[in-house]
Every structure is written in C-alpha cells, then in structure tokens.
Amino acid sequence: MKVKIPNTANALCVDASCTGNPWPMEYRAVELHTRKELFHSPIYPTGTNNLGEFLAIYDAIRYIEDREKHKKVPKYECIFSDSETAIAWMRSKKIKTTLKYTKETKELLTKVQDAVTRIKTHEFTIPIRKRETEIRGEIPADFDRK
C-alpha cells in the first residue's frame, strides 16, 4: 500500500527530458505552488533521462542549500521527482549508467561524478519524495514532450 504524500505547497519539482537513450538531455526545477521555473540546465548533446533526473535532484538540493545559506524565503519543505531511479541513486549515493565517456558526454559525466562525490561527503536534509503522478498528474516540471 502506498503512503499518500501531502501536496506540500513549498516544494520544488524537478524533471528531465531525453526523448531517446542516449539523446540530447536537459532538466529543470519548478516551484510547486507558483509553477515558476527556478533553474534550467543547458542541453547536453548526449545523455540519459536517469542522469538528467539525478542531476535535477542534485541541483535542487544545491539551490535550496544556497537559499538557506543566504536566509532567503520561502523555505522549501521537499523536492518532488517522478523518477524512482534517481531517488534511489540519491539515497544510495551511487549511480549506475552505461553511458560511455566520450567528447560529447565529458561535460555531463564530469558533472555527474562531481555530484556523486559531493553527496558522499556532505549530508543533505531536504526530503526527496516521489511524485504520485498516477494520483496527481504530471509533475509541474514536466517538459510535455511525450
């Protein structure tokens, strides 16, 4: 039985877009209650959706940490993602990808490795929650490219 997660107003929603595997990939974060885009990655020429979802969560954590450091409001209560894989990678502090290191993937895979290194050496306290898309519909950060 699934536990129903409250629809927290002060939350970030993250999502990635990658129409193939591998394919050009990008990700972003949207504030849940305003639907305002807070950040948007560059388009990486070759990536995977799972890597994008992972980096979206990681960048959302960094975004929230930076806001808290500078005492900016609102304070966010959680990060919503619709990716079970990316959430699992964050919790285990390791990733599994078959994406090969090439000239095209160098920037992306370097960022992923930097993210993994940082989450292994720093504690983050913001909860990461699975968006119940079957109950609540698409995550607000969705790129609507399906």
Average pLDDT for residues 16-21, to the nearest whole number? 92
- Tokens representing 113 are 């490795």
What are the structural domains of the chain?
11-136 (3.30.420.10)
Report the alpha-carbon distance of residue 122 to residue 49 in Å, rounded. Answer: 25
Indicate the range of 6-15, 37-46, 87-96 predicted with least confidence: 6-15
Per residue in 22-36, pLDDT (tens digit) is 999 999 999 999 999
Report the alpha-carbon distance of residue 74 to residue 67 in Å, rounded. Answer: 9
32 CB-near residues (< 8 Å, 6+ apart) = 7, 8, 9, 10, 11, 12, 13, 80, 140
Predicted TM-score (pTM) of the model is 0.91
